[in-house]
Amino acid sequence: MVTEEEKAAFFTLLKKFSDAIGVSGHEFEIRKLIMEEVNDLADKVWTDRMGNIIALKKGVDENAPKVMFAAHIDEIGLIVSHIDNRGFLRFTGIGGWNERILPGQRVIVMTSKGKIRGVIGMKPPHIMTPEEKKQVLEMSKLFIDIGVSSKEEAEKLGVKVGSVIVFDREVARLGGSDKVTGKAFDDRVGVASLIYMLKLLNKVEHEANVYAVFTVQEEIGLKGARVSAFSINPDVGIAVDVTIANDIAGVDEKDWITQLGKGPAIKIMDRGNISHPKVRELLIRVAEKENIPYQLEVLTGGATDAAAIQLAREGVPVGTVSIPTRYIHSPIEVLDLNDAVNSSKLLAAFAKEITREWVKELNAW
Ligand code: CO
Ligand code: ZN
């Protein structure tokens, strides 16, 4: 059972992180927020050359097993590629975009002088041809209107080629009170989940050294996880990320993948990797022991940081805990707070089970 207090505490974290900006390769704002939050929760916190944040919660001694949890801090975004003479911005995408959802959006442009608002404009339907009404506009045909009338005016506001852009969207609760919507639950819900896990771990004993890693540049190729896993050299790695909940109107039950409100998903596989059988078995055992609802996930597309962690050095057994989310990579992602809180409980309970003995068993075939 997840209490109202737990959901409220998680919502506060999720809102703070999802409203923040951190397009891949430009994770400045979100990194600062996470650093502030994590400093009091771990024994040691540092950043590496790429900008990953690594928070260590020490176990019984230095030689205790190492468990690495990874949640990515970056989000997909847009980036200015050209400013025309009238001050309209052309852009391209960072990460996996669906161009269909872009026209009609309000956006925030991060400039060298701060944040400014813009809109992705388009021709009104009144003057569209019947063909135009049916078309999906390619990103190269779209533009951002920031309300200026010249290139000079845009530049005066600090807009440059290379300025990054995100949706102007804040986290809000939906009518169904435990369902929330926002722009970057992928993967700020994972970030919130790890922070909440650290809070839970502060109340219990654990043998293992727990590394909570907040990774950069996942959306453009799992880059932060790759280098942080190399430096940590963990005995076991767990990625914490959203997964697809396709349990929406008009979709056959066999194509749902996961459902909102049925618990965090323990991943069997996705396109990036197959979870180590003993890792996913332990996740299942722990969920059952602690009465945490869970679902099993087989995903035919997408990958997580686990795929990069798995191939660090001579190899790392990995698994993934996913938070079911509808409409991923859109400004209106939707998830259930119960699943989110339960993901933290599952991770904390899993961390407690990582012992020297279990690692020995893990590596025996
Ligand atoms: Co993503
Ligand atoms: Zn993600």
In a domain, 25, yes or no: yes
The backbone torsions φ and ψ at residue 190, rounded to the nearest 5 degrees and listed phi first, read -65, -40
Q: Of 167, 196, 222, which marks where a domain is finished?
A: 167
Any domain includes 264:
yes
Q: How far is the CA of 328 from the centre of ligand 2 (A)?
A: 9
Ligand nearest to the backbone CA of 306: 2
Centroid of ligand 2 to alpha carbon of 287 (angstroms): 23
Spacing, Cα 331 to ligand 1 middle (Å) = 12
Q: Are 279 and 266 in contact (CB under 8 A)?
A: no
At 211 the three-state DSSP class reads: strand
Average pLDDT over every residue of 265-291? 98
Q: Are residues 247 and 326 in the same domain?
A: yes
Q: Are residues 104 and 191 in the same domain?
A: no
Question: pLDDT per residue over 303-318, tens digit each?
Answer: 999 999 999 999 999 9
User: Do the domain assignments include residue 178?
Assistant: no
**91 with 136, same domain?**
yes
User: Are 135 and 40 found together in one domain?
Assistant: no
User: Residue 132 belongs to a domain with what CATH number?
Assistant: 2.40.30.40
CA dihedral (53, 66, 222, 335) positive or negative: negative
The parent domain of residue 107 ranges over 78-167
315: left (phi over 0), alpha (psi -120 to 50) or beta: left
Dist. CA 52 → ligand 2 center (Å): 15
Let me know whether 196 and 325 are in one domain.
yes
Residue in 264, 281, 289, 297 with CA at minimum distance from that of residue 193? 264
Mean pLDDT of 8-22: 98
Phi then psi dihedrals of residue 177, to 5 deg = -65, -25
Asked if 230 and 347 sit in the same domain, the reply is yes
Domain boundary among 167, 197, 232: 167
Residue 175's Cβ-side half-sphere holds a number of Cα atoms within 13 Å equal to: 0
Q: CA-to-CA distance for 179 and 66, rounded, in angstroms?
A: 34
- 237 and 315 belong to one structural domain: yes
Long-range contacts of 146-152 (CB under 8 A, 24+ apart): 146/87, 146/89, 146/109, 146/116, 146/117, 146/118, 147/117, 147/118, 148/87, 149/86, 149/87, 150/85, 150/86, 150/87, 151/83, 151/84, 151/85, 151/86, 151/87
Residues 149, 154, 155, 160, CA torsion sign: negative
For residue 65, being part of any structural domain is answered with yes
Residues 323 and 349 grouped into a single domain: yes
DSSP 183: S
Ligand having the closest approach to the CA of 304: 2
187 and 330 together in one domain: yes
The ligand with the least distance to the CA atom of 189 is 2
In a domain, 172, yes or no: no
Average pLDDT over residues 110-124: 96
> If you search the block for the tokens 């991060």, which residue do you land on?
110
Per-residue confidence (pLDDT) for residue 29, from 0 to 100:
97
156 and 190 part of one domain: no
Q: Is the overall model pTM greater than 0.95, yes or no?
A: yes
The answer on 305 and 238 residing in a single domain is yes
* Cα gap 223→236, rounded to integer Å: 18
Q: Read out DSSP for 224-274?
A: HHHHHHHHH--SEEEEEEEEE----TT--GGG-SS-TTS-PEEEEE-SS-B
pLDDT at position 176: 84
**What spacing in Å lies between the alpha carbon of 143 and ligand 2's midpoint?**
26
For 76-106, letters b (16+ CB in 10 Å) and e give bbbbbeebeeebbbbbeebbebeeebbeebe
Q: Name residues with Cβ closer than 5 Å to ligand 1, which is an ion.
A: 186
Which residues make Cβ contacts (< 8 Å) with residue 128, sequence separation at least 6? none
Is residue 105 situated within a structural domain? yes
Could you give the number of structural domains in the chain?
A: 2
Active site (annotated) includes residue 62: no
The residue from 218, 219, 297, 333 that is catalytic is: 218
Tell me if 173 is assigned to some domain: no
Mean pLDDT of the 181-205 span? 98
Q: What CATH number did the domain enclosing 307 receive?
A: 3.40.630.10
CB atoms within 10 A of CB 116: 18
Dump pLDDT digits (tens) for 152-190.
Answer: 999 999 999 999 999 999 999 999 889 999 999 999 999
Percent of the chain with pLDDT over 70: 100
Determine how β-strand 209-215 pairs with β-strand 53-57. Answer: antiparallel
Predicted confidence at residue 38, as pLDDT, reads 98
Residues 309 and 328 in one domain: yes
Ligand minimally distant from the alpha carbon of residue 329:
1
Q: Can you read off the two tokens belonging to residue 171?
A: 């986290």
Distance CA 30, CA 22 (A): 6
Least confident of 19-23, 134-138, 234-238: 134-138
Instruction: Report the separation in Å between the CA atom of 157 and the middle of ligand 2, taken as the mean of its atom positions.
Output: 32
Where among 167, 202, 218 does a domain terminate? 167
| pLDDT at position 139 over 90 | yes
Is 174 inside any structural domain? no
Distance 33 CA to ligand 2 centre (A): 19
